[in-house]
Amino acid sequence: MIERPESLTPAPATAPRAEHGGVHGAVWRTPFGGVLVALLLLAGVEAILHSDAFLYRYRSVFAAGRAMDKVLAFEAQPTAVLVLGNSRVDNGIFPEVLRRETGLEAFNLGLPGAEACNIEGIVARLERHGVFDKGRTAQVLIGLDDGILQRSSGMGYEVYFDDKARLLAHQRYGDWIRANLHLWGYADSLRSLQEPAKLTRFAEASIGEVQSWGGSARQTSGFRAADEVANQDAAQAATQGNTTRQPPDAQVVECLQGTVTRLQRVGVEVKFFFHVALIMVISRVFFRAESWDDAWTMFYAVLGMPALTDAPIHYRSFQYGIVGGAFVLALLEPKMVGFLSRRDLLTLWWSKPAWLRGGVYAGLVVFLTVFGGAAQKSVYFDF
């Protein structure tokens, strides 16, 4: 019997299977797989930014973080008296003095740069946590000055603390979106990490506990002395001082009225007190300035007057670094273009696994959020 030769025609190829099962070319190996991974990673970042734990961890870096330190400390141990306000309360009301003079335990919840709408949101949160239930906090003192009745921004309080219903009522739709989408809403504060000192403190707080200057709110009852560090320069003092020339913002006044109504509805006694703002500003400028020239420059700025023509202009080290880095990049550009033109990088990129591509996409979004715009200019250096 003559055997027939085997066919030389190759058998149809079957699709190769991935090492752990599944077919190459499935969704995880397509361009859309990387996008899906990126969206999942960004959703995780968004969830972290929505947590109280994130703000508390970075209380030494962000203003809203130090605010969260105070809020959590007060929620854990409410006192008979709560004092609300901005930095003049933060630095000027010592709960130990109130306890010694009145026998009542007090807590200082003054927040640098805060305005009445921020305070309203915090009071609403405290009410939800039962702080004003019978037998707990019975009195609230609110410090009034020019700044607390002005619309302020740049501290990030509105993203985490402002009442969302109030934002809609005031037709602040952009702020409402920012309050719900924190990666976008908190971008201004995250951009402060462009400064090396801030970025270094952020890294330190990521691996260990770092208190804001002045100490833990649980240990100090929220108070910190004003003159421990020079926390403003002339431009920041001028920005803060500009509010003294503006009438109260009608919507912010409405927030203050809403705060009082909310507190009175739950049986809390509300009292106001006023700051002697000009005397405080003058004393802080002249005691904290490094020289007479710097003191006069800051004083002129606070009063809204033209700055001295010979006032020194200071540049921070990271600004020199940016200029130097741009110069080096310009020198290397021809070689970089030649390298990229000799390789089919797009094909190479799509061949990478989706988890790697997605991680790069998400990392670029976060990087551009932090470093893709001008650094936030707050009215304070540190928190």
Q: What is the pLDDT of residues 77-102, one digit of tens each?
A: 999 999 999 888 898 888 998 899 89
Q: Is the pLDDT of residue 259 over 70?
A: yes
- pLDDT computed for residue 108 by the predictor: 94
Q: What does the chain come to in residues?
A: 383
Residue 144 has pLDDT above 50, yes or no: yes
**pLDDT band, residue 134 (cuts 50/70/90):** confident
Using one digit for the tens of pLDDT, what is the confidence trace for 151-203? 876 688 999 999 999 999 999 998 899 899 988 888 888 888 888 888 899 99
pLDDT tens profile 317-375: 555 666 676 677 667 766 766 666 666 666 777 777 888 888 888 888 888 777 766 65
Residues 6+ apart with CB under 8 A from 325: none
Per-residue model confidence (pLDDT) at position 52: 92
What are the CA-CA distances from residue 344 to residues 33, 115, 284, 290 (Å)?
21, 55, 62, 58
Q: What is the pLDDT of residue 25?
A: 47
pLDDT tier for residue 10 given thresholds of 50, 70 and 90 = low
Query: How confident is residue 118, by pLDDT bands cut at 50, 70 and 90?
Result: very high
Q: Where are the domains of the chain?
A: 63-188+208-275
pLDDT band per the 50, 70, 90 thresholds, residue 226 = low
What's residue 70's pLDDT? 94
Which residues, in sequence order, are CB contacts of 359 under 8 Å at separation 6+? 37, 38, 41
**pLDDT higher for 214 or 59?**
59
Burial class (CB in 10 A: 0-12, 13-18, 19+), 296: middle
**Spatial separation of the C-alpha atoms in residues 67 and 333, rounded to whole Å:** 45
Residue 103 has pLDDT above 50, yes or no: yes
Amino acid identity of 348? L
Query: The tokens of 252 are what?
Result: 């912010």
Residues 6+ apart with CB under 8 A from 220: 108, 214
In the chain, the percentage of residues whose pLDDT exceeds 70 is: 66
118/63 Cα distance (integer angstroms): 12
Q: Residue 156's pLDDT is what?
A: 86
Q: What average pLDDT does range 201-223 have in this prediction?
A: 87
Give the number of other Cβ atoms within 10 Å of residue 144's Cβ: 18
Pick the more confident residue, 335 or 268.
268
Q: Among 194, 195, 214, 210, which Cα is nearest to 112's? A: 214
- What pLDDT was estimated at residue 137? 93
Note whether 145 and 4 are within 8 A (CB). Answer: no
pLDDT value of position 312: 43
**pLDDT confidence of residue 370:** 75
Instruction: Say if residues 241 and 232 touch (Cβ distance below 8 Å).
Output: no
Say what the pLDDT of residue 183 is. 87
Place of tokens 């699709």: 15
What would you report as the CA-atom Rg of the chain, rounded to the nearest whole angstrom? 28
Element (H, E) at 84: strand 81-85
If we measure between CA atoms, which residue out of 221, 217, 265, 252 comes closest to residue 120?
A: 252
